[in-house]
Every structure is written in structure tokens, then in C-alpha cells.
Amino acid sequence: MASIKGSADVVIVGGGVIGLAIARGLALGGVRDVCLIERATLGTEASFAAAGMLLPQVEADAEDDFFKLACRSRDLYPSFAEALCEETGVDVELDTTGTLYVALNEDDHEEIEKRCDWQTRAGLSVDLLDAAEARELEPCISESAFGALLFPRDIQVENRRLLSALANSVNRLGVEVLTETNVESLVIERDRIQGVQTSRGPIGCKSIVIAAGTWSSFLPCSSVVPIVPVRGQMICLESKPQLTRHVLYSPRGYLVPRQDGRLLAGSTSENAGFSKRVTAGGISSILRNTLEISPLIALLPVVDTWAGLRPRPADGLPVLGACGEIDGVVYATGHYRNGILLAPLTAELITEAIVAGVTSPLLAPFSPDRFSSQPVLR
């Protein structure tokens, strides 16, 4: 293995969608010496396992800080996708058809009426459809559906193509990428980051970005940022011609059509430690919940299954921004169920924080300092 350079301006730990998007942002923002360190290969963990749905409105109960962050990031996607295509030639297949939240029982229907109500009052695009209108739009929807809520602006991206585009982009921009290199610990002296200790030796740096997904708590700084893995299993069906044009979502499951005929059926939310096993119980619950949306999927072949680990912080909200106690340490982690959605805005705001030293007010509610009462013994 080639020897490594001993220093960088900024070290990024983690080569998932978040680390890659930030590396690109920093390089485009004029940081010359960016080093991204990934302990395995780029983009093979949660970011690879995801469904690529960009659904801030579908999942929101109120117009809170997280909702604003999520909508802002979703709305960056068209320009983000276009810029990546121009830089790399990789089309990330941003599909703007929209999402149908299908109500399959009375409780679901009550839920979509409430959601339609507050979002309409907030001036957001949303359209309540009765059962006949929903089935006219997507005939594969179950005959027993009560209706659906159409979210024209909640869209999807092919997350694996997104990872390829980002990897390609950071390469072209001259980011130093070290794969198969584990960051073992942070080197901190006099409350300032000095560098990292890696499995291939030390690397000095002025700033570090912790983007290590569900493993971020293993790199404690002044406090432990508590993040746990939440396993999500997925089934990949083959649907040629494609069964649905819209993403079909219910409170229990979802179906995501891809351009090449894959139809993703997800998912589970399990506390199973760091195990990425696909289980009979997981598969059976996904099938039950997605057959309910469209019984027609029973006819489709299963072509693949996998599982990934969502990084969930103790309070379920992302951990974004500079650590107040140790100079030079910046967090970009804990994106839980929304890391693909939040990647463009995370990259923009973290780049701004490092390059211009400006912390956007959008980041304030997600500061890592909210966990500062959980000290680390060194």
C-alpha cells in the first residue's frame, strides 16, 4: 500500500454520501488540501443501502426546524444533479414525478387529511385524491385504498449513481481519497484538533469533519455524540414494464421505481446492533406492508435483498456544525432516515462553516453541543 501524506488542511472521516458531498463542497469552495478517509471502500454503507427518496413533506407533521432544513435541501437537488452531470457525465436519475402517500385504512386517511390541511394552509404543494383518482393516476394501487395524498415536489434520486457521481467529482477536483484506512482516534491538544491517528499512520490537519455515519460515536471528541444503528432491510423486485411512475408510500412501507426496471420495496426499522443481516422476519414484514399498497407486486421476481444501518442520534435529529469545545472539529452525522435528502444542504452549510467561518442559523438547532453534558474520559 502506498505511503500517505502526513498532513492536510481538512480531513473528512467517512466516504458515504455526506463525507463525499462535503469533500466536493470544500474543494469547490477553494480548500486546496482536502483528505477524505474511508476505512473500507467509498459509498458502500447506509448511503448505498438507501432508497433515495427525497420526501420532506410526506413525513412532516409540522413546519419545524428540521422540516425547513429538509425542504431547503430537497430544493437544491435539481441544480446539484445538473452540476454533477456537467462535472462527471454521470446522470443521477433525479426523478421528479412525485410521491403518492396511499391511505390503506381509516387511520391513514385521517392522517393524510390532517397533513393536507396543515400543508395547504402553509402554502405547500399537496393534492388530496379520492380512491378513484389515485387509481387513475397509478392503477397498481390496491382496490381497497381509501385515497391518497399527492406530493408533486417530493421526488427521488438514484442514490448509487449519486455516490458514483460524487466519487468521480472529488477525484477530478483533486481531493486525496484514502480508502481501506481506518481513523482510530482524534489527536487533540490544548482544546484544538491537531490531526488523526489512522491505521496507516498519523495525519495532521487544521480541521476535521466527522462524517462516519453510524460509527461516529467511536470517535469521541470533548463529548460523546450518541448515535446508534437502526437496521433497514430492503427487497429489490424486477418490474418491466415499471408498475408505478410515482413513489408509493404508506406509514408502513414504500415502493420506489427505478428507471432500469428495479422496484425497491422497503423497509424495516430495527435495533439489531451493527448486524447487516437480511432476515426472514424482515422480508416478511416488508412484503406484507408493500403488498398492502399494491397486491400486483406478488407477481414480480425478487432480484436482490440487502440491509443498511441508519445513523440515529439519541434525539433523532442530525448533528451538524462545529464542536464548541474543541477548535477545528466539525460534525456532519446522524442523518438517520434522511441522509440522501440532506446531503446537498449539509455540504453547503458545512463548507460555509469551514471556509468562511460562518455558522448558518439553519444549523443552530442541530449543534453537536446539545450533547456536551456527556463527557469523555481521556
Ligand X SMILES: Cc1cc2nc3c(=O)[nH]c(=O)nc-3n(C[C@H](O)[C@H](O)[C@H](O)COP(=O)(O)OP(=O)(O)OC[C@H]3O[C@@H](n4cnc5c(N)ncnc54)[C@H](O)[C@@H]3O)c2cc1C
Distance of CA 205 to the CA centre of its chain: 27
131 versus 354: smaller Cβ distance to ligand X: 354
| Beta carbons of 178 and 162 less than 8 angstroms apart | no
19 binds ligand X (CB under 6 A): yes
Is residue 87 a contact partner of residue 25, using CB atoms and an 8 Å limit?
Answer: no
How far apart are the C-alpha atoms of 143 and 122, rounded to whole Å? 31
Does the footprint of ligand X cover residue 213 (CB under 6 A)?
A: yes
Contacts with ligand X by CB under 6 A: the residue count is 42
Task: Determine if 16 is a binding residue for ligand X (CB under 6 A).
Answer: yes
Q: Which is nearer to ligand X, 52 or 313 (CB)?
A: 52
For the bound state, the minimum distance from the C-beta of residue 131 to ligand X, rounded and expressed in Å, comes to: 26
| Choice between 47 and 88, CB closer to ligand X | 47
Q: Does 45 bind ligand X (CB under 6 A)?
A: yes
| CA–centroid distance for 215 within its chain | 15
Residue from 257, 308, 328, 344 in contact with ligand X (CB under 6 A): 308
Measured from the CB atom, the residue of 129 and 265 that comes closer to ligand X is 265
Q: How far is the CB of 335 from ligand X (least distance, A)?
A: 4
253 forms part of the interface with ligand X (CB under 6 A): no
Answer yes or no whether residue 73 interacts with ligand X by CB under 6 A. Answer: no
What does the block give as the cell for 317? Answer: 435529529
Q: Is 13 in the site for ligand X (CB under 6 A)?
A: yes
Which residues have a Cβ under 8 Å from the Cβ of 1 and sit 6 or more positions away?
180, 200
Phi, psi of 118 (to 5 degrees): -70, -35
Stretch that binds ligand X, among 2-10, 43-51, 83-91, 294-302 (CB under 6 A): 43-51
User: Is 234 one of the binding residues for ligand X (CB under 6 A)?
Assistant: yes
50 binds ligand X (CB under 6 A): yes
Report CA torsion sign: 66, 67, 72, 77. positive
The footprint of ligand X on residues 174-203 (CB under 6 A) is: 182-183
Q: Is 38 in the site for ligand X (CB under 6 A)?
A: yes
Kindly state the smallest distance separating residue 16's Cβ from ligand X, in Å.
2
Q: State which of positions 310-349 bind ligand X (CB under 6 A).
A: 310-311, 333, 335-341
Which region among 37-45, 81-89, 90-98, 144-152 touches ligand X (by CB under 6 A)?
A: 37-45
Find the shortest distance in angstroms from Cβ 178 to ligand X.
9
Minimum CB distance to ligand X smaller for 246 or for 310: 310
Of residues 147, 266, 321, 368, which one binds ligand X by CB under 6 A?
A: 266
Q: Is 250 in the site for ligand X (CB under 6 A)?
A: no
Min CB(282)–ligand X separation in Å: 10
Nearer of residues 328 and 344 to ligand X, judged by Cβ = 344
Spatial distance between the Cα atoms of 203 and 212, rounded to a whole number of angstroms: 17
**Which residues sit at the interface with ligand X, rule CB under 6 A?**
13-19, 37-40, 45-47, 49-53, 182-183, 211-215, 219, 232, 234, 266-267, 308, 310-311, 333, 335-341
